[in-house]
Amino acid sequence: MGLPTYGAMSVDWEMRVDMDLLRRDRVARARDQLVSADLGAFLCFDSGNIRYITATVIGAWADDKAGRFCLLPRNGEPYIWDFGSAARHHALHCPWLEGRSEAGISTQHGAMPEAAGRPGEVAKKIYAVLEEHGLTEAPLGVDICHPPVLFALQELGLRIVDGQEQMLQARRIKTSEEIKLLTHSCMMVDAAYERLYEIMRPGVRENDCVAEVNHVLYAMGSEHVEGVNAISGERCSPHPHNFSDRVLRPGDPVYFDIIHSFQGYRTCYYRTLAVGGASRALIDAYKRCRYYLDIAIDALRPGVTTGDIARLWPRAEEFGFPNEEAAFALQYGHGVGLSVWEKPLISRLVSLDHPEPIEEGMVIALETFWPSSDGWSAARIEEQMVVTRDGCEVITRFPAEELMVAGHRYFTASGGLPQTREVESHRNSGRTLPVADAIPADSSKPI
């Protein structure tokens, strides 16, 4: 049947995403990880971890500041310290916090004056809650923070350990409601690709495509379009991981990666299209790219490891790179959830020697790349999937089994213009005329 997406609204006549269950399950998984890792509490400054634990968010603009923070004691409920007005909003509208929402500002990644003493103030707030729960002697798992905050916590005698690894362990298996939200998020990108297929033609720019994707996604309820890679023509190989104002031309390859968030849950979703027609070199590259993706999807199931998947992919040297670090993330897999790259990561760089298990309930994106023999075009494809009991279910639906050609269909006097064509039109005639035959000796006479 496939995983349901329903609609974005809550209704009384159909069970859709149960947000209360989502909140409870996430906190339970984080608390279980505290027990498993023998930690006293999680102190989190990372926005994804804060949302996972407290179900609060104030916008993507706060993601690069590490100004807000939360605490989850092993034997208690979540606490959040946030921008003053946001903290009051949480107190009014987040009843699951039961008043554990207070104003509290860290160093804004060092933008605050040192003399203001913000690190010490943060440390005092954390210590007071830990003391209340009898956890000042237990290890405190911290994900990311400005070094002066870390030093201030240590000055109070707290033992700091790596909390990011443990939080990502907690987040690696998705709950039932997380899977619903991730599937819905992918459905929205399906629609964005449909729009790209409609508008792509010579004269459209890469940034025009990015604008259209943003419009579609925000109109459908996206919370944040984190990034749209739009890469065309000679920019395709090597992959630059960005977009520009380059204008699409007939015969161009174009590949996109659309990364956005619905209710916090991300996508990472590549597709490759051709404009008006495709060269044989691009078609061959696409088939190779698809092959490496498909064998990985077929192998993905509980019981295999990240190393088993990475071993199916070609070595860096086979597609023009000197080593696996230089080719990192071109043949690649990663968990997707409240952030784009979560556990497990699948790469020949690390997975062959340090494999991790694939487990039911993981949501994983697999992405492959292959350069064309022409030296400048390339194919890039990605599917996002849920690992099931006996395999996986792909939740990215825009067609990608074969290379698709976008743009107008052209007609010549002899019929439809073939969609398999070289970029240089003189190579499509099936014959090459000598120069002496192609140009009459008397150029005043018509050919």
pLDDT digits (tens, 9 = 90+) for 255-274: 999 999 999 999 999 999 99
Confidence bin at 242 (pLDDT 50/70/90) = very high
Asked if 245 and 280 sit in the same domain, the reply is: yes
pLDDT higher than 90, residue 367: yes
For residues 164 and 184, state if they share a domain.
Answer: no
Q: What is the pLDDT of residues 275-309, one digit of tens each?
A: 999 999 999 999 999 999 999 999 999 999 999 99
Omega within 30 of 0 (cis) for the link into 322: no
Same domain, 208 and 303: yes
Q: What pLDDT, on a 0 to 100 scale, did the predictor assign at position 447?
A: 37
In a domain, 84, yes or no: yes
Could you give the CA distance from residue 105 to residue 429 in angstroms, rounded to a whole number?
Answer: 68
Give how far Cα 135 sits from Cα of 63, 113, 128, 138, 321, Å. 28, 31, 10, 5, 50
Examine the domain organization and report whether 389 and 336 are in the same domain.
yes
* pLDDT for position 412: 78
Last residue of a domain, one of 121, 141, 171: 171
User: Could you tell me if residue 436 is inside a domain?
Assistant: no
Note whether 255 and 366 are same-domain residues.
yes
6: pLDDT confidence band, cut at 50, 70 and 90? confident
The tally of CA atoms less than 13 A away on the side-chain side of residue 189 is 33
Determine the distance from the C-alpha atom of residue 109 to the mean position of all C-alpha atoms in its chain, rounded to a whole number. 24
Q: How many domains does the chain have?
A: 2
Task: Indicate if the pLDDT at residue 424 is higher than 80.
Answer: no
Judgement on whether residues 164 and 261 belong to the same structural domain of the protein: no
| Average confidence (pLDDT) over 338-356 | 98
Going by C-alpha positions, the residue among 223, 131, 169 that lies closest to residue 31 is 169
pLDDT of residue 438: 44
Residues 335 and 188 in one domain: yes
Evaluate if residue 436 carries a pLDDT over 70.
Answer: no
Query: Does 160 share its domain with 256?
Result: no
Query: Do the domain assignments include residue 60?
Result: yes
Six-digit token pair at 203?
A: 């004269």
Q: Please, are residues 69 and 152 in contact by the beta-carbon 8 Å criterion?
A: no
399 plus 254 within the same structural domain: yes
Positive or negative, the CA dihedral 244, 250, 252, 255 is positive
What type of residue is 4?
P
Q: Which of 120, 187, 172, 97 is nearest to 358 (CA)?
A: 172
Both tokens of residue 217? 């996604």
Burial (CB count within 10 angstroms: exposed 0-12, middle 13-18, buried 19+), residue 299: middle
pLDDT at 379: 98
Give the chain's mean pLDDT: 94
Do residue 81 and residue 148 come from a single domain?
A: yes
**Residue 302 preceded by cis peptide, ω within 30:** no
> What is the tens place of the pLDDT at every residue in 82-109?
998 999 999 999 999 999 999 999 999 8
Does residue 130 belong to any structural domain of this protein? yes
189 and 149 share a domain? no
82 sits in the region (left: phi over 0; alpha: psi -120 to 50; else beta) called beta
- Residue 5, in any domain of the structure: no
Q: What percent of the chain has pLDDT over 70?
A: 95
Residue range(s) defining the domain that contains residue 127: 19-171
Residue 411 located in a structural domain: no
Domain with residue 63: its CATH number is: 3.40.350.10
Instruction: Indicate the pLDDT class of residue 227, thresholds 50, 70 and 90.
Output: very high
Q: Is 146 within 8 Å of 107 (Cβ atoms)?
A: yes
pLDDT at 440: 47
Domain C-terminal end among 141, 171, 201? 171
Paired strand residues for 161: 141
Residue 442 lies in a domain: no
Say which CATH number the domain at 344 has: 3.90.230.10
Domain boundary among 125, 147, 171: 171
Look at residue 118 and tell me whether its pLDDT is greater than 50. yes
Does 110 share its domain with 150? yes
**Is 330 domain-assigned?**
yes
Radius of gyration of the chain (CA): 26
